[in-house]
Every structure is written in C-alpha cells, then in structure tokens.
Structure 1
Amino acid sequence: MFSTFVLVCGCLLQRKLVTTEGHHGTNRHVFYAVQMDGGSKAAEDLAKQHGLEFIQRVGFLEGLYTLRDSRGRRDRATFEHRLATASGGAGEALRSADKPHLDPFLARHPGLPGRFSWELICSRRTESAADSPAEDRRSDQSLTFNDPLWPMQWELFAQGEYSSSGFDLNVMPVWRNNITGKGVVVSIIDDGVDHTNKDLKRNFEPLASFDLRASHGLSHDPMPVRDEENSHGTHCAGEVAMEANNSYCGVGIAFNARIGGIRLLDGSVTDAMEATALTYNIHFIDIYVCSWGPRDDGAEMDGPHRLTEQALRLGTHKGRHGKGSIFVWAAGNGGIQHDHCGADGYVNSIYNIAIGAVTQTGEPAYFGEPCPGVMAVTLSGAGVGGSLPLVTVTNIGDGCVTHFPGTSSAAPIAAGILALALEVNPELTWRDVQHLIAKTAKIPDPEETDWSINAAGYHVHHRYGFGLLDAGLMVQQAALFQSVAPQKTCMQEITLHPARIFLPGHGVTVNIQSEACRGTVNQINSLEHVQVRVSISAACRGDLSISLESPGGTLSLLLDTRPNDASTAGLKNWTLMTVHCWGERPQGQWTLQVTDHKGTVRSCTRPSEAEVAGALLSATLILYGTYHPHKTTHEGPLQSIVSMGSHHPVPLGGLYQRDRSPPLDLIRWVYQMERDRKVQAADIPIPAKSKHTEGDPVSEAAAPMPAGTSRTLSGPCALYSSFLYPCEGFVPTAESLSK
C-alpha cells in the first residue's frame, strides 16, 4: 500500500508552442503532480489504474511525479477524489490553474512603438574616465577584441563615442586577470536557447539544458521556435557567454562560462514544470537565470506555488553539493503601470536575488518596480531621453541584435558577474553571494531621493536595493571571502483577536516586541532577510499600503498602492520581504502598519463612507540571520558605513540610527568614496589556479574551451549523463524539503 497526495497543477494545459503569452488552444490536457511513496513504479501503476500517462519525476523533489490525462471526463471532481484516495491512501485534490501569466517581461509600453522592455537583474556603477587619472585606466584599457560590435558594448567598457555615459561594469580588471567564467555553469530558464548561434555554439552545455515543452519528453535540446517572440532566452544567454575574439557579434561578460537553456515559457506553465526547471541537475548548474514572473499590469498578485517554493528551498540548501544554487530573478517591468514588486512572490523569496535596472546615467529605469526585496541593479541603457545600444545574440535574422532594454537584459548581466565571482571562489554559498552584493553594491545616483542608511551602516533604496554591481569590486571581495555563519530562522506569530478593522482612509498599527528567539538555538543578533506573512481583507486591494519599521528605525514599504488593482480578494497568507534591515539587531519593537488610501484605485466602488475598508486578520514576523556571540550592542550615533566591502568611519560625528533620511551630504560622501576607490587589475588577489601563465593576456582570456568540454562527471553521475537527471546520487528526503 502507498499513500498519495494529488495536486492538480496544470488544468487545461494548452499545447500551442509559439508564444510566451497564454493562448486558447484546442488540444487540452490535465497534468497532475502526485506525491506518493513507492517510487516511480508505484506512480506508473497508479497511472495505469486510472487511465493516465506517467510522465516523469518532478525535478529533484522526492516522491513527486507528473501524470497526464488526455481524456475528456464529464465528472472530473469525482475522478480527482478517486485518484487522491487511490489504494487506500488518504489525500486531497487541490486544483490550481496553469500559469500563462509567466511572461518573460515582454511588455509593450506606450511611448516605445515597436520596442519591448524586459525584466531582470543587477549591476553596479563604475567610475567614469573623468574621475580617474588616464594612467590608472590605461592598464585596464589594453584588452581589445575582434568582435565587430565590441566597441558598442559600453556597459562592459565605456569607450569611444559611448565613454561619455560615465558608467560601465568595471569588468576589465577582472578579464585582465584571466577571470572569464571558466568552470562555471549558467542555465537560462526561459523560452529556449539557440545553441547553434555562432557566438553560443562553443560555450553551450547540453547537461545544463532541457526542453520542458516537448510534451514532457526527455531532450537536452532547448532550441526555441524561430520567431521574435521566442528569442528572449537566446538574448539572455548571449549577454552571459557570447564567445570572445571569434569575429562575430559581441562579447559575453563571462565569455568562457558554460551556458545552457531550459525551455519552459513557450506556452502555459504549471507549478510542477517550474519546480522541475529550478531543480534540474542541481549539482552541475551553478546559476539559474529567470527573466520572467507575474504579468506587470499593476493588478496581478502571484508568485511561486507550493512545488516551486519547495524547489527553491531545496536548491539553495542542497544544490551545488550543499553550497546552494544561485537564483537570479527579475524585479519587474511594471513601473509604467505603477506596479510594485511587493506583489511579486518571486521577488519576495529569500532564495532569489532580485535585480532592477538603471539607465546609463544611474537613474532608475522608468519601467522598473520599487520594493525592499530588490537586492541590486545593473545597467539597461534605456532612458527617457534616449537609449544606448545593448549587444547580444538572437535566433532570427543574422543572429545578432543591438537592442535589448529592460530588467530582462540586466538579469543575465548580473548572472555573468556572479559567474566571475564563482570562478575566483567556487566555495561561495548562496548566502555568501547575497552578502557580497550587500557589501559591494555602489550608490549610482546620490541625488535620487529616498536613500537610507540602516542601523548597521548599509545604504539601501527601494529602487536600487543596495546599489549598482561592480564586477571588479565583487571579484576582489569574493577572492578572499570567508563564508558566513549558519542561517538561523526565528518566527513570531502575532495574536490578533479580534481582527484589527480599519476604516476608509485610515489604517491599523501593530507593535511587535521581539526577542529574536533569545536563549534558543534559533537566536539571531544580526539580520539578513525579514519577512512578514499577512492575511488582510480589503474592499479594494490596490488602495492598501503595508510598511514595516525595524527596532533600528529602518522603514520598509513592503507593498505600495497600485492604481490598477481593483481586486476585493485582499491578501491571503501573502509573504512580503525586505533586505533593508541587513546587519541590524532584531531585538526590540517592530511596527507593522496597514493603511487604506481610499481613492487610489478609481475603478473601486464603495457603497458608503461608513463601510469598513478592511481588516488585518493575521500576521507573522519571520527573521533570518546569524548569531555572533561576541557582537556588542551599540546605542547612539552610527559610527561606520558599509561600503566597498568594509566599514568606513562616518565623518562629522556620526549618524543617528533613527534618521530615516540621512543628510544628502553623507550620501554624496559615500558616493564619492565609491567612485574614487575604483578597483584596478592589480587590486584583485587571484588564487593560484586562476592566474594566467606567460603569453598574450588577450588571447589567453579569450581562449575557447575545446568543443564539447564540460565539467567532469564521475561515479553515479557519469551513468546518467544522457538522461533528465545526470546525477541520481543525490536523493532528497522529506525532512530536507521541510527545512
């Protein structure tokens, strides 16, 4: 006998494969994710017993299998109940719609006819030529490439007619040290990757690739449909790993990394498909890039469902042989729709690195979404007053394009920077990488309002996160980075009996006194992520804002008003997240505030002035961080600022911790320090294995790996190299999924 738990995760999944948007097709299937004991044989027997087709195991999630029903059933509810209770097992059937909303941030915006903006991740601003002596730049300026569009890649190295932008990613010092992504595997989860493109062919990695659209068949070929709508994943792959010095197109930021693609988005997507993609070959793939999420219409509120949440947790805890998979995610392109990424559950996950975009002048991109879950930004080149080119490859035409704006283009750039950091220090954990971002991101524009310095000295912003990524600085700090202490988790449920009702135009405030699990094994005295899980009823969801103030005085706007969201559904067990309290002490009073801003959503109708606007039904404070037994408690003015990977004394007597808006002079001082101390090639300590030997550094750095070269598989992994799970040696347990 075996027990089953059936999750109907893909109702009416359409088979049309030509677009990333949801379509109405004629060939419909129902996919079931079945959690059960007994292994694959038991799942196959269950499928035969009920006239279903056994498809496959769901990624690396133990005991979860996908079954497909191609039959039309008049009474599906009865069938699903019978399936859930099969063989005497106790279970239940939960129906959740397929997810055609997973757009690759391919949103047409007014004012940009014929152009697309896309979404994703990070980068840091570097110093302009005018800010450093010519002799300092000359040593890092000598690398040249024969790729015809290299001179246009201002985001990698500002030169020629594009040098006036003042920004690049400061990647030259890294390349000068022959750090080019060698040995690092990146996979693009998207609409496919055209691995036949001349700039991707040599670096393509089949074992980091899979096609989830081929009727769930086993295939390592992620080739997309050849049209503009399905070129998104190929664009992303090119930014990471375009081959250098092959006289074609441009240069990838990690041009010797191995690049793969997992074809997921060309059609509707189920929870099980997402989970499969995110746990595919988790010991082999280092970085997963996801340039997609809920629709950026300012009305939708969605995120990872049950299986995907399990997959993200499993990947970070077990992936890369315990160091954790790195998930780079888009922060959202809904700015023009007044969207807020607090409504995006992927951004609110502690396991994902959410990245926004800035223009060539360091200003927030007009399409970007603010929220305190954004970790960092990178360059997009898309500005209101005109845009700069962004070079990458495509699967149509001559295979090369010079226009790819939005946060989708920022994400793979961030992944490329992280690949450089992993080459110089492969032992970095998923949390080490996030600490590196927090400590090395730079202020791109000190004049932008709402910069804050938290009680631990980190500069944070709802649009920039910790700031703009700098490849040279991140690699320098990664080379000698000491892994952070184990993660602790402390949960505190807030008792709300009765529920806290609020009237139109008013709100409720809940003070939470926290000891941060003092005296237990989960005690925390240095924060990382902070989450709040809430259930709120609302007459108009888009009129709500939710904020959280830490004991150190840092204010996070977890969710802002959204004028397009007229939903009356409220929030049900919705998890919000902030990174703005990073490094702070959690003990003390937290203040949660829910406010109704009546009139923000014009399409909302309220019968009377006296009607209740909503109620806070439940709330849970979740603290993540570490415990340092020798950390001292400091009261009074802040003594130091975290910048450039270290602490710097605050000038002029310090900054009081509860100053939510630090003096502009202080922000300018930090900005100027970060510009003046730009990392050069000689500043990067290189482990012996990464140092290049005698010869031309250009040809060495750009030297391609032999065709077909990939990371060596040994032991049980080698036996499965041609199947969906190249390494079956890892068997997660139910216990590992619950942690």
Structure 2
Amino acid sequence: MNRFDLIYLILAIHLNTAALAENYQNIWAVRIDGDVYKAKDVARSNNFEFIRKASFSLDAFDDIYILRHKDLPNNHRMKRQAVEHDQILKNDSSIIWFEQQRSAIRVKRSAIFPSPSKSNRSISQNEKLRNLWDTTRQFMFSFGMNQNEVRHQFNDELWPSQWHIHSSGFSRFDHGITRVWDMGFTGKGVVVTILDDGLEWNHSDLHANYDHNASYDMNDDDPDPTPRYDLFNSNSHGTRCAGVVSMIPQNRKCGVGAAYHARIGGIRCLDGDVSDIVEANSLAFRNDYIDIYSASWGPSDDGLTVDGPKMLAQMALERGVAHGRKGKGNIYVWASGNGGSRGDNCNCDGYVSSIYTISINSVSESGHFPWYAEKCSSTLAAAFSSGAFSDKKIATTDIHNTCTREHSGTSAAAPLAAAILALVLEANPNLTWRDVQHLIVCTSEFSPLLDERGWRKNGAGFLYNSRFGFGLLMAQSLIQMAIRWDPVPEKYICIVQPKQLFPQEISTKGDMLRVYFMLEQNQGICPIRFLEHVQVKITLETTRRGNSRMFMFSPQDTMSILMYPRLKDNSRQGFRNWNLTSVHYWGENPVGLWRLYIQNSQKDGSILKLTNVQLILHGIRQPGGCFNHRPFRRYLNEDLITQVTAPVAEFNENSPEQFDAFFDNYE
C-alpha cells in the first residue's frame, strides 16, 4: 500500500465512522413502576442521579428514565459492564427493567471511492469530462431538446448536474420528479427530518425550508443541530442528505431539492456516543410533527457485523409506526448499506431489515447495480445515486455554505427516496406507513434496470430482485396511485412453528438443514391471504457464521435468498433470535408448505447447529390497495418481463453438488 492509499484509508475511516469502539457509558436507561417523582426517589436511594425522562415524545417512553451513577465521572467509558451497579438496581422492586448504555459503532453510508489512478492527470481529465458533460447538458436545455426540462429551467448553479431529477441528455431514465412538479406537488406541508451528524440549517440553500421544530442535537442535548466543524469536514454528511430533499430553487445557489417545498429538519445523533437511548430519542423525536425520517447510516458494512436496533430503538420504531403522524405512522427511510465489495448482506443490518423501515438501495445513472451496493431480501426499492468512478454522483448542499456534486452511496439514495415520498404524502396525507410500503411495491419499475440480472416473478405477479427490491421508485406512478388509493386493511401476524424437532447440525460443504413449515387452510389459525413481510426468526450456533447460506421457497415456489455467505465473517457467535426478512413474497397466499434450507457453503470443518426457528407472516385477510384489482400489478412494458425473468433449473435438494451452479444462475 503506497502512502497516498494509506492516507486515503485513514481519511475514509475518519469521515465515515461515527463511533470507533463499543464502550459502556455512565448512563442507565431504567423502566420504573411510577411517575417522575418515584423515579427521582429510586435514583436517590440507589446513589444514582436522575437526568430526565427518556424521550421527547410524550407517548413513546412514558415510564423509562435516564440515570447516571454518582460515583463515576460523567464522561466515564468502560470496556466492561458495571456489574456491581447493576446488582443494586436489580434489588430494587420498583425497577421493571434497566440497561447500562453502550456506545455503538455506526457508519455513514457515503461510498468511499478508491483512487482511479496513481496519476493526477487522470483525475483532472475526468473532471474535464464532467465539466464538458454539464456544458453539453446546459446547451441542450437552452435549445429546448426536452420540453419538460425547458419548463423546469432553474438558475441554480448545479441544476444541470441533477441528472437524477431530469433525464435530458444521455441518461435513459429518471424518477419522474419533474412530471410530479407539473402536477403541482413539491412537498408542501410535509416535514422531513435527517437523522445524521448535524445540519447546517443556516445554509443559504436550505435556510428558508429549515424547520427548527423538527430538529435537535441529541449528542449535546440542545435544540441546535449545527454540525461540529473540523479540519476534515467530517460532519458534512447530514447537510448533504438534507439538500437532496429540500434545496431552494431559483436562488442561483447549489441545486433544487426533489421536494423543494418540504420542511427540512435535522437531528444530530452520530457525532458522539451513539447509544440505544440516543437512537431511540432520535427515532421518536416529535413523531406527531415529523412525517418522514431519513437515515443514511447503520452498523459497519464490513461483511462481518451483525447488529441492529437495541430494545429502546426498536420500541421507538414500533411506536413511531403505531402512533406517529397522529396514528397514521411515521415513514422511516433507511439506506441499505455500502458493503457490497466486502461481501456484506443487508439482512445482517437490523435497521434495514426491519419491517418498519423502507430499505432503499442505489442505482447508477446508467441503470446498473453499483459496486458498493448490497444484495438482500429486505430491500424494498431503489433510487439513483453514484455508480462507478466515471459515473456522476449527486449534486447537493455542503457545509460552510458550499455546494458539491460528490454525494454518493446509498447515503444519497435514501434522502432522494424520502423526498419522493414527501411528494406522495402531499398528494395524499392520509396514507398510513403500510399504505406507503404497498404503494412502493405496486408502482416501482423494473424496466429502467432490465440490463441487470436476478429478476424473478413471485406468485402474486410482482417482479422482485435481491439488488433492487421491486424496482426503481417512480414518482409519477406513486402519485397517480396515491391520489385514488384504497387504504390497506388491518394487518395480521401469524407465527408458524416448524415440523421438525431441534437441534439439528451440519458440518460438510453442501450439506443442508431442511426445515418445513405447514400452514393449513384454516382462517381460525391464520387469516392472512395476502402477504406483506415474511420473517424467519432464527437461532443458529456456528463455528464460522459467514459460511451459512439460507434460502426459502413459498408454497407458490417463490424463492428468496435470506442470507448469502459472507467470506469475511469468522464470528463464532452465530445468529441469536435474529430476524431474516424478505419482501419477495408480497401479495402471495401463504397457505401450504414453506421450505427453509440452511447450507454450509464451505468445506472447512465448520459446524452449523440450528437450535430454534420460527416463520413469522405479516399480511392482510381482505384485499386492499392494488390487491383490489387483477392483475395486482401492471408494468410499463409487459413484453419485457419474459426477457428479464429467464427460467432457471429446478432446485433439487438432494443434489448438493449442483447448488453453486444453481445459485450462480439464479442471481
């Protein structure tokens, strides 16, 4: 590794990692049977200091409080849990639950691009090509080569670079955002908050849309989300994400936000110790006021981490969708991750694979799957972002009141999706969080991405792909369907137990554990007839976690790959009550035999031991949304479907020597 690459690597780590080590903090989250006065009394009697209630949202954590131990420094960090202090709390009968807080590793999801060449000349030539591209595009605008774009000719300096909004020139597709603007929807009345490293709210291209009521600094516990400035500009990420949503048009500054009349807020939560309580407070903050939360971060995308929301953050998500937006549910948009080059799988990220979040992957301007993107079964849809080094990135705001054309990765795709959903909520503010997910499934489009392999049709007629979910978000189609949307009915959850007894164990390459679930056609047992999410909750002990490959067939023979082998994952911890989520069965009838396969993909003597597993089905009994019509889904170009869904050989569970070839062909 040369000196340049070493410096580059150090900068990459510094700029993208919110916390570099997991340490215990002198902070305890405590659930107490009683009010604030009781909590203060409990703290005092146990030599703790009462800090405050756990949340800024009145209904989110009504009986959870934050305590600090008086004998430890306020900023104390410990490698090990303070067991002796825990024991004191255990002995107090007023305490229902408690947990000492830890600082978690959370990484921002901008793609770090390797040096394209050791020569500075190559970089400058690429910059010249980029400038030539913008000049050419501006020339085409001025001569009216695209009538739609002439109507939307803005004087903002980076507008010609916003290829993801307008498809003039050589880009084949965009999200249809300008056509939605023509319909009169620009995000008015919708509040979007960026959960990140801060927001430069006084930026001249954001200030007019800034909403202080949707903003807070969770790291320093004050109302000002302004980022901390340093030599490396390491806290520019949140300001960049915000610009994608809500840059102000026609002010000769930067560009135009995809929802340029949406109100924009920022929560500073990544520039400090990121604990469960910090995440929970961020996810629950003013959830009756904020409509959409956008998060472009998560656990490390290193190909060896399995992590997700802890108890309080999980509770915040659950209560956000149940009570936020005055009962309609908050919309949580999450970047799916940038660990593709490291063999990562976003089903190992509990934020991305949550049923409460909308997981968004990236598509390059040429319609390809980027080198950094991850494949997994929980991704719902895709939005444009950066691709290869020569592909254009996303133009947006930057700190110090500057602009950039370098926003990248799934970090840029998620706020773009959030902006599109802001347009949707303006068109129909009565949509619930589940309505929004159904709309995405029913309108996302495969045809801009037809050059990519892996497209399959499920038993309900929806095309799906482990790279892109149900396809590219299409703003105009979303709006048109949202305006006449028939709300989806009440959701049911069914838990199906396996037919086998456990534990089961395998140790040889190609060997498989076979698990069967039978759902009888009895509405008294499970009333679901149209599926939404399907989860496999699994406890798998292993001597090498990364060797496990897991996939499942539905009764309608739809296959979903729940977990790919991860070559870097040497962990012996396995999966402990971990939810593997798939959206690939959306709309199917779940009645019948489900087949789950767990394979040891390597011949290295490693052992996989399955100790517990459940099938969890989410869905509805009566049709709603686009399920009211047959077929459920009509695509822009139906003739292309047979071309992109080439048949694959039938899976034979008794021929392990054919598995690798089967999966190579399938994906």
Q: Which residue of 1 aligns with 2:266?
A: 261
1:353 aligns to what SS in structure 2? strand
Alignment counterpart, residue 602 of structure 2, candidates 580, 598, 605: 598
Q: Which residue of 2 aligns with 1:142?
A: 151
Alignment counterpart, residue 441 of structure 1, candidates 437, 444, 448: 444
Q: Aligned-pair distance for 1:112? A: 5.8
Q: Deviations over 1:339-362 (max 9, x none)?
A: 111111112110000000011111
Q: Which residue of 2 aligns with 1:220?
A: 223
1:321 aligns to what SS in structure 2? helix
- Asked if the contact 2:496/2:518 (under 8 Å) is kept, the reply is no
Q: Which residue of 1 aligns with 2:615?
A: 621
Q: Which residue of 2 aligns with 1:457?
A: 461
Q: Which residue of 1 aligns with 2:191?
A: 185
Distance 2:149 2:41 in 1: 63
Q: Aligned-pair distance for 1:92? A: 5.9
- Asked if the contact 1:81/1:92 (under 8 Å) is kept, the reply is no
Opposite residue 624 of structure 1, the aligned amino acid is H
Q: Does 1:367 align with 2:372?
A: yes
Aligned CA distance change for structure 1 residues 550 and 658 (closer, same or farther; 3 Å): farther
Distance 1:548 1:617 in 2: 18
Alignment counterpart, residue 19 of structure 2, candidates 2, 19, 22: 22
Opposite residue 226 of structure 2, the aligned amino acid is M
Stretches of structure 1 that go unaligned for 5 or more consecutive residues are: 1-16, 116-127, 129-133, 600-605, 634-638, 662-739
- Asked if the contact 1:377/1:467 (under 8 Å) is kept, the reply is yes
- Asked if the contact 2:529/2:622 (under 8 Å) is kept, the reply is yes
Q: Deviations over 1:671-714 (max 9, x none)?
A: xxxxxxxxxxxxxxxxxxxxxxxxxxxxxxxxxxxxxxxxxxxx
Opposite residue 244 of structure 1, the aligned amino acid is P
1:97 aligns to what SS in structure 2? strand
Q: Aligned-pair distance for 1:79? A: 2.0
- Asked if the contact 1:534/1:618 (under 8 Å) is kept, the reply is yes
- Asked if the contact 2:293/2:330 (under 8 Å) is kept, the reply is yes
Q: Which residue of 1 aligns with 2:655?
A: none
- Asked if the contact 1:20/1:191 (under 8 Å) is kept, the reply is no
Q: Deviations over 1:576-596 (max 9, x none)?
A: 000000000000010000000
Distance 1:560 1:329 in 2: 21
**What TM-score do you get using the length of structure 2 for normalisation?**
0.84
Distance 2:364 2:190 in 1: 28
- Asked if the contact 2:16/2:108 (under 8 Å) is kept, the reply is no
Q: Deviations over 1:483-522 (max 9, x none)?
A: 11111111112264341111221111111111376225x5
- Asked if the contact 1:371/1:557 (under 8 Å) is kept, the reply is yes
What pairs with 1:26-105 in structure 2 (closer than 5 Å)? 29-59=25-55, 60-69=60-69, 71-72=71-72, 76-86=82-92, 88-89=93-94, 91=96, 94=99, 97-99=102-104, 101-105=105-109
Q: Which residue of 2 aligns with 1:642?
A: 633
Alignment counterpart, residue 403 of structure 2, candidates 400, 412, 421: 400
What pairs with 1:165-184 in structure 2 (closer than 5 Å)? 165-184=171-190
Distance 2:414 2:227 in 1: 20
Q: Aligned-pair distance for 1:111? A: 4.3
Stretches of structure 2 that go unaligned for 5 or more consecutive residues are: 1-13, 124-136, 138-142, 652-667
What pairs with 1:294-443 in structure 2 (closer than 5 Å)? 294-383=299-388, 386-396=390-400, 398-443=401-446
**What TM-score do you get using the length of structure 1 for normalisation?**
0.76
Q: Deviations over 1:315-334 (max 9, x none)?
A: 11111011100000011100
Larger RCO of the pair (alpha carbons < 8 Å, separation 6+):
1
- The CA RMSD over aligned residues, in Å, is 3.1
Q: Aligned-pair distance for 1:141? A: 3.8
Q: Which residue of 2 aligns with 1:153?
A: 162
1:542 aligns to what SS in structure 2? helix
Aligned CA distance change for structure 1 residues 621 and 56 (closer, same or farther; 3 Å): same
Q: Aligned-pair distance for 1:245? A: 1.1
Opposite residue 49 of structure 1, the aligned amino acid is S
Aligned CA distance change for structure 1 residues 590 and 72 (closer, same or farther; 3 Å): same
What pairs with 1:510-521 in structure 2 (closer than 5 Å)? 510-515=515-520, 518-520=523-525
Aligned CA distance change for structure 1 residues 390 and 471 (closer, same or farther; 3 Å): same
Q: Which residue of 2 aligns with 1:557?
A: 561
What pairs with 1:659-678 in structure 2 (closer than 5 Å)? none
Q: Aligned-pair distance for 1:540? A: 0.8
Q: Aligned-pair distance for 1:381? A: 3.1
Opposite residue 240 of structure 1, the aligned amino acid is V
- Asked if the contact 1:491/1:623 (under 8 Å) is kept, the reply is yes
Aligned CA distance change for structure 1 residues 659 and 327 (closer, same or farther; 3 Å): farther
Q: Aligned-pair distance for 1:33? A: 0.6
Q: Which residue of 2 aligns with 1:468?
A: 472
- Asked if the contact 1:85/1:91 (under 8 Å) is kept, the reply is no
Distance 1:289 1:111 in 2: 29
Distance 1:457 1:92 in 2: 46
2:394 aligns to what SS in structure 1? coil
- Asked if the contact 2:546/2:569 (under 8 Å) is kept, the reply is yes
- Asked if the contact 2:32/2:94 (under 8 Å) is kept, the reply is no
Q: Aligned-pair distance for 1:96? A: 6.1
Distance 1:357 1:320 in 2: 28
Aligned residues: 597
Distance 1:140 1:245 in 2: 14
Distance 1:492 1:270 in 2: 34
2:577 aligns to what SS in structure 1? strand
Q: Deviations over 1:90-136 (max 9, x none)?
A: 6565556321x111125645446999xxxxxxxxxxxx9xxxxx999
Q: Aligned-pair distance for 1:308? A: 1.2
Most deviating of 245-254 and 494-503: 494-503
Q: Aligned-pair distance for 1:174? A: 1.1
Aligned CA distance change for structure 1 residues 19 and 158 (closer, same or farther; 3 Å): closer
Aligned CA distance change for structure 1 residues 320 and 109 (closer, same or farther; 3 Å): same
- Asked if the contact 1:105/1:295 (under 8 Å) is kept, the reply is no
Distance 1:55 1:35 in 2: 13
2:407 aligns to what SS in structure 1? coil
- Asked if the contact 1:516/1:623 (under 8 Å) is kept, the reply is no
Aligned CA distance change for structure 1 residues 580 and 19 (closer, same or farther; 3 Å): closer
Alignment counterpart, residue 201 of structure 2, candidates 195, 202, 211: 195
Opposite residue 307 of structure 2, the aligned amino acid is D
Alignment counterpart, residue 283 of structure 1, candidates 282, 288, 297: 288
Q: Aligned-pair distance for 1:251? A: 0.5
Opposite residue 159 of structure 2, the aligned amino acid is W
Q: Aligned-pair distance for 1:267? A: 1.9
2:460 aligns to what SS in structure 1? coil
Percent of aligned positions with the same letter in both sequences?
Answer: 36
Most deviating of 613-622 and 454-463: 613-622
Distance 1:79 1:629 in 2: 53
